């Protein structure tokens, strides 16, 4: 074993101080993951069997589907990312975290906001703007809760005891700075004091693009850049190029969203700019894949769950970028078809969720001192990977076929429904498999928290990536 692994560094103490807030964020994220996957599974089945649980307002497809998406984004992905981000900032900066109470209160408030938001959608008070369906009050609570988290993360960065800033810290800085800006702008202009309808389309699509590329992606990438050198036990490959990727991604992130309005009621330059940004985005994503996947090249990937999750997530990340760049080629057929849902599956489940789950598999044992049993972790990986793959492939194939039916002027609309139906059935099976994987994870996670698992054999102290980079 590498001597660095057993050397006790001050970073360890920092991690210990972060325990309760991070565990709070992770456990509530796990709850919303199960909840959101359950609702998205229910919605998928309702599309296949429309009479399933119909006739009740709060169980109608439109509300369940929006509630599922929002629970997954704000309840699961954002909270797992926030927990991970705080842990990384303390670890990398070797700062002991003060004010635990502030973060715990903020975490509770954030959950209150998500709960209120989900209830508002189910009760029929949702706002019908993609990603912004929460009622105005719920959004305000989320922002207030976020203020504490965001300010604390900046304090953590400023008061760091280590020299320099590692790439994970850059990405966390982008995420923690951009989120309040994006979320407040969108809520101000679309929910609290809506602008005229003619301007809402581009603002809403800017929001959904920015939320992904400037909030969820940087949070996940921060985890990936931290995990990869730890798993591979070597420095990140071509580390200096990660700065290029970082600036490219941050610059382009805000421009990506409007491509979903291709052909729509917006000025043509907005769509062109967004398509151009999607194509240029291949550069940073390629560099990121070389930095991360390239680090593993030439040697076997270690048989730890976080490695499988991370590699799977990165392959999906490359897929997301390729799909984005292919928009001008495919959009005539794929726009508005189930293929668009497949794109979301690849982005939100394939990259963000799998990446964050990998990080959780790594961080949780180091917080509790107890390892996940390897067999549970393997099951969890294969169930979630096959769930994501099934959902993605079914919707991609079904979406292309449905897309041709939607495109061809000689084909009736109902044919597109009939043609897509079998693929939606397979998709619904995929959501069920993914739900099982979430339940398996939640069970293992709960047992780990309650102390039902064997103590971790690996030492809880690890060298930081900055040290590995220098090594």
Q: Is 446 one of the binding residues for another protein (CB under 8 A)?
A: no
d(CA 228, CA 295): 7
| 165: CB partners within 8 A, 6+ apart | 157
Cα-based torsion angle of the residue sequence 292, 225, 309, 433 in order, rounded to the nearest 10 degrees: -120
Question: Exposed, middle or buried, 269 (CB in 10 Å: 0-12/13-18/19+)?
Answer: exposed
Q: Is 206 one of the binding residues for another protein (CB under 8 A)?
A: yes
Nearer of residues 104 and 400 to another protein, judged by Cβ = 400
CB of 265 to another protein, least distance (A): 5
Q: Is 173 one of the binding residues for another protein (CB under 8 A)?
A: yes
Nearer of residues 222 and 341 to another protein, judged by Cβ = 341
Q: Is 198 one of the binding residues for another protein (CB under 8 A)?
A: yes
Q: Is 194 one of the binding residues for another protein (CB under 8 A)?
A: yes
Piece of 145-153, 316-324, 382-390, 402-410 that binds another protein (CB under 8 A) = 402-410
Residue that is written with structure tokens 């599922």 in the block: 68
- Among residues 1, 3, 163, 375, which is the contact residue for another protein, using CB under 8 A? 163
d(CA 314, CA 232): 15
Q: Which whole-number Å values give the CA distances from 259 to 22, 73, 276, 344, 350, in the listed order?
A: 36, 21, 9, 14, 21
DSSP 411: S
Residue that is written with structure tokens 């590498």 in the block: 2
Nearer of residues 104 and 165 to another protein, judged by Cβ = 165
Contacts to another protein from residues 414-433, by CB under 8 A: 414, 416-418, 421
| 257: CB partners within 8 A, 6+ apart | 205, 206, 207, 208, 209, 210, 274
- Among residues 1, 158, 300, 457, which is the contact residue for another protein, using CB under 8 A? 158
Residue that is written with structure tokens 């202009």 in the block: 189
CB of 302 to another protein, least distance (A): 29
Nearer of residues 300 and 414 to another protein, judged by Cβ = 414
- Among residues 150, 253, 284, 398, which is the contact residue for another protein, using CB under 8 A? 253
Nearer of residues 36 and 257 to another protein, judged by Cβ = 257
CB of 350 to another protein, least distance (A): 19
d(CA 38, CA 137): 25
The count of other CB atoms within 10 Å of the CB of residue 457 is 7
Q: Is 161 one of the binding residues for another protein (CB under 8 A)?
A: no
Residue 455: beta bridge partners? Answer: 370
Nearer of residues 25 and 212 to another protein, judged by Cβ = 212
Q: Is 374 one of the binding residues for another protein (CB under 8 A)?
A: no
Buried b (16+ CB within 10 A) or exposed e, 90-104: bbbbbbbbeeeeebb
Contacts to another protein from residues 14-73, by CB under 8 A: 46-48, 50-51, 54-57, 60-63, 65-66
Contacts to another protein from residues 91-150, by CB under 8 A: 121, 124-130
Contacts to another protein from residues 260-319, by CB under 8 A: 260-267, 270, 273
DSSP string, 352-388: IIHHHHHHHHHHHHHHHSBPPPHHHHHHHHHHHHHHH
Nearer of residues 415 and 456 to another protein, judged by Cβ = 415
Cα-based torsion angle of the residue sequence 205, 210, 213, 214 in order, rounded to the nearest 10 degrees: -170
Q: 314, 294 in Cβ contact below 8 A?
A: no
d(CA 377, CA 437): 10
Residue that is written with structure tokens 């959904």 in the block: 208
Q: Is 195 one of the binding residues for another protein (CB under 8 A)?
A: yes
Piece of 79-87, 143-151, 203-211, 288-296 that binds another protein (CB under 8 A) = 203-211
CB of 27 to another protein, least distance (A): 29
Contacts to another protein from residues 324-363, by CB under 8 A: 331-332, 335-338, 340-341
- Among residues 5, 98, 101, 247, which is the contact residue for another protein, using CB under 8 A? 247
Piece of 26-34, 105-113, 242-250, 292-300 that binds another protein (CB under 8 A) = 242-250
- Among residues 103, 214, 287, 348, which is the contact residue for another protein, using CB under 8 A? 214
Record the tokens describing residue 220, joined without a space.
Answer: 């996940």
CB of 64 to another protein, least distance (A): 8
Q: Is 178 one of the binding residues for another protein (CB under 8 A)?
A: yes
CB of 82 to another protein, least distance (A): 18
Q: Is 192 one of the binding residues for another protein (CB under 8 A)?
A: no
């Amino acid at each position: 074993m590498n001597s660095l692994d057993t050397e006790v560094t001050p970073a360890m103490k920092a991690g210990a101080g972060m325990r309760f807030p991070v565990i709070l964020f992770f456990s509530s994220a796990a709850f919303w993951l199960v909840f959101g996957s359950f609702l998205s599974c229910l919605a998928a089945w309702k599309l296949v069997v429309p009479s399933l649980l119909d006739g009740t307002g709060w169980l109608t497809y439109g509300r369940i589907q929006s509630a599922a998406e929002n629970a997954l984004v704000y309840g699961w992905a954002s909270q797992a990312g926030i927990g991970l981000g705080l842990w990384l900032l303390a670890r990398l900066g070797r700062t002991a975290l003060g004010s635990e109470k502030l973060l715990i209160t903020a975490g509770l408030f954030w959950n209150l906001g998500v709960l209120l938001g989900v209830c508002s959608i189910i009760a029929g008070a949702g706002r019908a703007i993609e990603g912004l369906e929460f009622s105005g009050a719920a959004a305000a609570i989320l922002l207030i809760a976020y203020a504490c988290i965001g300010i604390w993360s900046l304090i953590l960065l400023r008061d760091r005891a280590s020299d320099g800033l590692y790439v994970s810290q850059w990405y966390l800085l982008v995420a923690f700075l951009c989120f309040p800006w994006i979320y407040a702008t969108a809520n101000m202009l679309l929910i609290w004091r809506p602008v005229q309808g003619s301007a809402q389309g581009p603002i809403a699509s800017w929001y959904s693009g920015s939320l992904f590329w400037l909030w969820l992606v940087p949070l996940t990438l921060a985890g990936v850049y931290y995990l990869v050198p730890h798993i591979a036990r070597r420095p990140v490959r071509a580390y200096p190029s990660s700065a290029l990727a970082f600036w490219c991604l941050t610059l382009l992130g805000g421009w990506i969203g409007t491509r979903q309005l291709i052909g729509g009621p917006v000025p043509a330059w907005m769509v062109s700019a967004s398509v151009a940004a999607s194509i240029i985005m291949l550069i940073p994503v390629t560099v990121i894949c070389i930095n991360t996947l390239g680090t593993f090249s030439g040697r076997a990937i270690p048989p730890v769950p976080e490695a499988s999750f991370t590699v799977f997530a990165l392959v999906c990340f490359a897929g997301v970028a390729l799909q984005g760049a292919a928009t001008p080629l495919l959009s005539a057929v794929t726009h508005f078809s189930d293929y668009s849902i497949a794109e979301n599956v690849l982005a939100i489940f394939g990259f963000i969720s799998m990446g964050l789950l990998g990080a959780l598999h790594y961080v949780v044992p180091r917080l509790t001192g107890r390892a996940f049993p390897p067999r549970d972790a393997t099951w969890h990986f294969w169930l979630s990977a096959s769930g994501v793959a099934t959902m993605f492939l079914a919707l991609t194939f079904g979406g292309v076929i449905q897309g041709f039916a939607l495109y061809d002027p000689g084909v009736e609309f109902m044919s597109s429904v009939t043609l897509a139906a079998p693929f939606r059935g397979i998709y619904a099976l995929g959501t069920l498999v993914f739900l099982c994987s979430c339940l398996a994870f939640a069970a293992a996670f709960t047992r780990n928290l309650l102390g039902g698992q064997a103590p971790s054999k690996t030492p809880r102290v690890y060298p930081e990536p900055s040290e590995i980079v220098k090594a």
